[in-house]
Structure 1
Amino acid sequence: MSGTSQPLRALWRHHRRHRPRVVAAATFTTLNTAADVAPELLLGVAVDVVVRGADSFAASLFGIEGRFGQLLVIALLNIAVWVVESATDYAAAVLWRGLSQAVEHELRVETYANVQDLDVSWHEGSAPGRVLSIISDDVNQLERFLDVGARVILHTFWTVVFVGAVFAASSWQLMLLAFIPVPVIVWGSIRFQKLLEPLYRRVREAAGDVSATVSTNLGGLTTIKAFTAERREVERVRVVSQGYWDANRAAIRSSAAFVPLIRMAILAGFTSTLLLGGWFVIQGRLEVGLYTVLVFMTQRLLWPLTDLGETLDLYQRAMASTRRIFSLLEERGHQVPGDLRLDAPVRGRLELRGVRFGYADGPDVLRGLDLVVPAGETHAVVGATGAGKSSLLRLVLRFSDPREGRVLLDGVDVRDLSWDSLRGAIGYVSQDVFLFHGTVRDNLAYGRPDAGEDAIREAARLAEAHTFIEGLAEGYDTVVGERGLTLSGGQRQRIALARAILRDPALLVLDEATSAVDNETEAAIQRSLATVTTDRTALVVAHRLSTVRDADRIWVLAEGRVAESGTHDELVDGGGLYAALWAVQTGEALHQPQT
């Protein structure tokens, strides 16, 4: 049975290590409720002392005839009860809050860890804002219920049990009258629960829409401004926020009606006890002290049930959130890592044999691709947009698996390798460089956190990044900001290259690393590559052919196949597709004589 269909049961199973804490918290809540009910009993005993004196229940129980002596004993008992109530209230609060915080922490970490392990293709098809809403807001909703709601439910249950026991020992007629509203309240709670469940499911979904929209817009703020789409995006946010507001209003209208209905049921029970109990006292069938106890007990019995409205609200929100949390926890990736490790030292020989690949149910992007990069050589992959260059890299990094064929690293199918062995042997520099919020040093050492200062600076020098880093306000301790936006594109690209170099990979993979940089940065990256690829394998996907003219071999893709391959000079002399691309990029095609 999945966590989405039985969220409370799923929580109990999933967090079984916290069961002793739940039992302890429930025990202290039970003792606290008993101590909470006891003062009403002592009040009735005190009234009985004042009215009956030496014939009171206290006199027979304590063996004290004087009224003041009896009251003194009752006062001491009351002090003891209040001490117990305060102590158990503290213990229960600490345990419940500790439990809620522990569950919140664990679920947030587990959910993030599971999301991080999912395939790249899963993330490409999912809105980051919706995932963020689950990890943040939904986990918080569950924490609020465990902190408050669970304790209120237990307290209410034991109040009904203890008060019911007092009524049963005093007068079965009054017990029936006092308890008549309870089934109505329970029925109403169940009825409202079924009514609120779909309403709060829509609330959580609407909250996810808001989070996804705002997150996406903030990530694309420069594009919004560039296209003067601010008003349009404000309207988009207004629409999804209105949807969230409307969903909440529908839920609130239903949940807010609960407490007034409960109050009417309480009024009926309280009035019945007041009148019938008073009639019994007048007839001499009930002692005044006991009558006082039962009147107060009726309120003690029924009044906590008014909290069921708010508690039910918390419960429904928490269960809707729990379903979303466990739905995310139950997501599984299609790619499973192998358990093999590459033999040391890793040489970096790369082979693609008969590879056929496409996205989801779409057509093939790569069609029977064969490609070999010998260890220690630098090979480039070029081609027009849509030729399959980026798809090839996805297979090398195993962000996706081929439909047919094999991708081999040092002769081992990448599907048989562990993630650490495969990706640990690769240094990757993407076109869209991602830098984390932190210092330059933090970002350089991201792939090798234990790297020393000398190694970090040497990697920066090899990437020709050391000079500009030293020129920053705080050098290597400069904070780069969110996604590294305080740096220029060329600076980010050189830091990314240094980050890959520091890892000392057997295979260096660059995806359009110079497509968005100026000529100076391109020249710097070319010089860096010439140095760092001397004794390692490199696979370079490039749009600018000038950056790969010195490669040992260039593979030209067209429509998912290898159209031609060779050195730069061989391909230019061959007069094929590469020669045509070279002519366009160098401007030679513009100066061809007209025929």
Structure 2
Amino acid sequence: MPVSSPAQVRQEARLLFRRHRGALSIALSVHVLAAAAGLAGPFLLGRMIDGVIEGTTTTRIDVLAAALAGFIIVQALLTRVATKRSLVLGERVFAELRESFIARVLHLPLSTVERAGTGDLVARTTGDIDALSRTVRFAVPEILVAVVTTVLTLTAAAITGPLVAAGAIVGAPLLIAGTRWYLNRARAGYLWERASYATLNGTVTETVDGARTVEALGLAGVRVTRIDDDLRETFAAERRTLFLRSVWFPTAEMAYALPVVATLAWGAWLASAGHATVGQVTAVVLYMVQIVDPVDRLVSWLDELQVGLSSFARVVGIGNVQPDRYPTGAEPDGEDIRADDVRYAYVKGQDVLHGVSLDLAHGERLAMVGPSGAGKSTLGRLLAGIHPPRTGRVDVGGVPLVDLEVDQLRREVVLVTQEHHVFVGTLRDNLALAAPNASDDELRHALAAVDAIELADALPEGLATVVGSGGHPVGPAFAQQIALARIVLADPHTLVLDEATSLLDPRAARHLERSLSAVLHGRTVIAIAHRLHTAHDADRVAVVEDGRIAELGSHDELVAEGGAYAALWESWHGTPAQPADAR
């Protein structure tokens, strides 16, 4: 998945701040007032010291002390207001970022999502969003406040004692050099770190999801080695960013400690030579001590900002994914599906489909069979409009599927796979995703069509039962039936079923398919199956081998030919292949 360039990140940040310019201006203004109130302390203390040396009356000293206490109270109140406004603004901006990110993710081309895998997308949705949350809510406000406080403090020091304040510049060269060294390396380091997290996350997720396969094939050692390699990569990335921090932090701390020492020594000489008063020296030195805190916060949060900017680049990078379809607004003239000389490659230069052509009349049932890795699922995804072909075209009613809006496409063709998801919410909510205005009777009819009405009625609250994560447990078979019920409600004219009943036992799957046949009557059905009874019931069977359609015909025709399909049928059925009417 792409990562945005620094220029794109800056542009996105400018647009974001521009949309919240008013609230940001108010928050910064209050912070400026709070910082200005805090500057009164050193100045008043300096005046009090000069007053004592000059023999000023105690009344004047008391007035200065009372003013100092008043400014401290005002600063505390303003700081509270400013902090609250900053946090509210941060929450609002972060909410907007999260909504924008989710909208971009939901509009990603499905082909891109499938190629990218789960690791990178999950890492951006979780780790990067969390890092960005901390940056928006805390780092950005803290940095802005620290910059304002630093500038105001230096200004106050220069006004109070211009000659004494000159000692503050000794730390600037070291701070500037160290910060430039760090910033030139930080972006690449943190992008490497975030990418390594994504890779590790993907490896662990795949291993957990495929635990049974790993155990059955004895791949535990291979997966452990893969995870160890990813851990080493992550460790190397972490060590790189830690090295950057270990150089920059001490350098920065030395840079803002030097002005305190230099100002005190330089101010002592100026006072002894009569070029400055003791009060001026005291005030400026206190300003230098006071400036340590905002500069320290600036350094600390600037590092956090690098993490956030790296995550922001990955989050914004989602928007750089190019669309895989360009809707023209054309309306299909009919419901026939046609693939013409279709080729497709997941990796450039390595086609998995080689010039496949196929015509499907409306209402026809086609079964696709063949060995694993032959290209059946890939062809099914092209026929469902998930992937655009590399060359050739797939049409519905004479219009290329990639020329249709996604919403329109899903009214024409729907893909049903063995992968499914039960969302958090009621069973009614899960079913209504396909038909928001459907009545309970329509939902129950859809459940009955997929043999799930008894399971639904057995739930504690029927359709109102909360399912999904944290809700009433739903088994894999029932979850798959829920997915099929959604298809009944969506009512497309063409269905691509990619092992859609694989999680049911063979007898239940057979019963469900027979029940579905009434619902699927009059629709075009493309069934990708390993259970050959599906092929037996189909109007035609396509045998896919090595990315090509090797055989195409009815069950009886292919059995009579004695080719690859006949061999598959004999192997699966356990009896010599023969036409259905001969048995």
Unaligned residue ranges in structure 1 (runs of 5+)? 55-65
Displacement of 1:299 after TM fit? 1.7
CA distance in 1: counterparts of 2:151 and 2:398, whole angstroms: 71
Aligned equivalent of 2:318: 328
Q: Partner residue of 1:9? A: 10
Change in CA separation of 1:228 and 1:350 when aligned onto 2, cut-off 3 Å:
closer
Shift of 1:165: 3.4
**Would you say 1:457 and 2:459 are equivalent positions?**
no
Counterparts of 1:505-516 in structure 2, within 5 Å, are 505-515=492-502
What's the offset of the Cα at 1:295?
2.4
Structure 2 CA distance for partners of 1:209 and 1:400, relative to 1, 3 Å: closer
Q: What's the TM-score once normalised by structure 2's chain length? A: 0.86
Question: Once structures 1 and 2 are overlaid, which stretch shifts more, 459-468 or 537-546?
Answer: 537-546
Q: Residues 436 and 484 of structure 1 are in contact (CA less than 8 Å); yes or no, is this contact kept in structure 2?
A: no
Matched position secondary structure for 1:25:
helix
- TM-superposed deviation, 1:457: 0.9
Change in Cα spacing, 1:587 to 1:198, as seen in structure 2 (3 Å) is closer
Match of 1:67?
Answer: 58
Which region of structure 1 is more displaced relative to structure 2, 362-371 or 227-236? 227-236
CA 1:8–1:86 in structure 2 vs 1: closer, same or farther (change >3 Å)? farther
Q: 2:31 aligns with which of 6, 29, 32?
A: 29
SS of equivalent residue, structure 2 residue 116: coil
Kindly state the Cα deviation for residue 398 of structure 1 after the two structures are TM-superposed: 0.9
Q: Aligned AA for 1:271?
A: V
Hey, what does 2:349 align to over in structure 1?
Answer: 361
TM-aligned CA deviation for residue 498 of structure 1: 1.9
The equivalent position to 1:424 in structure 2, one of 384, 389, 411, is 411
1:194-213 residue CA offsets vs partner (Å, 9 max, x unmatched):
34444333322332233223
Is contact 1:277–1:286 with CA below 8 Å preserved after alignment?
yes
- CA–CA distance in 1 between the matches of 2:463 and 2:115? 36
Report the Cα distance in structure 1 between the residues aligned to 2:391 and 2:169, rounded to whole angstroms: 71
Whether the 8 Å contact between 1:274 and 1:295 is mirrored in structure 2 is: yes
| TM-score using structure 1 length | 0.84
- Of stretches 278-287 and 521-530 in structure 1, the one that deviates more from structure 2 is 278-287
The equivalent position to 1:408 in structure 2, one of 392, 395, 405, is 395
Residues 537 and 125 from structure 1, CA distance in 2 versus in 1: closer, same or farther, beyond 3 angstroms?
closer
Query: What is the deviation of 1:529?
Result: 2.6
Q: 1:227 to 1:35 in 2, by over 3 A?
A: farther
CA gap 1:554/1:275 in 2 versus in 1, 3 angstroms: closer
The letter of the residue matching 1:182 is: A
SS at match of 2:80: helix
Q: Please say if residues 480 and 487 of structure 1, whose CA atoms lie closer than 8 Å, have aligned partners that are also in contact.
A: yes
Letter in 2 for 1:31: L
CA deviation profile, 1:89-110 (whole Å, cap 9, x unmatched) = 2333233323433343333333
Distance (whole Å) between structure 2 residues aligned to residue 4 and residue 162 of structure 1: 33
SS at match of 1:400: coil
Contact 1:96 1:146 in 2 (8 A): no
Q: Specify the alignment match of 2:211 in structure 1.
A: 221
Q: What letter corresponds to residue 526 of structure 2 in structure 1?
A: L
**% identical equivalent positions:** 31
> What CA deviation, in whole Å up to 9, does each residue of 1:154-191 have, x standing for no partner?
34434443343344344443222233223332232222
Q: What's the C-alpha RMSD, in Å, of the aligned pairs? A: 3.5
Shift in alpha-carbon separation, 1:427–1:125, aligned structure 2, 3 A: closer
Q: Give unpaired runs (5+ residues) of structure 2.
A: 579-583
Q: How does 1:431-442 map to 2 (within 5 A)?
A: 431-442=418-429
Partner of 1:97, secondary structure, is: helix
Deviates more, 1:523-532 or 1:477-486: 477-486
2:378 pairs with 1:391: yes
Measured against aligned partners, the alpha-carbon deviations of 1:183-241 in whole angstroms (never above 9, x if no partner) come to: 33223222233344443333223322332233323322333454566676556545534
Partner of 1:120: 110
Q: Does 1:539 align with 2:540?
A: no
Structure 2 matches for 1:481-560, cutoff 5 A? Answer: 481=468, 490-515=477-502, 517-557=504-544
Alpha-carbon distance between aligned partners in 2 of 1:356 and 1:201, rounded to the nearest angstrom:
35
Deviations 1:104-155 (A, max 9, x none): 3333333343333333332233242222222322233233234333344434
Aligned CA distance change for structure 1 residues 149 and 119 (closer, same or farther; 3 Å) = closer
Task: Give secondary structure in 2 for the equivalent of 1:424.
Answer: helix
Larger radius of gyration: 1
Deviation (angstroms), 1:369: 0.8
1:128-147 map, 5 Å: 128-147=118-137
| Distance (whole Å) between structure 1 residues aligned to residue 378 and residue 331 of structure 2 | 24
Aligned to 1:307: 297
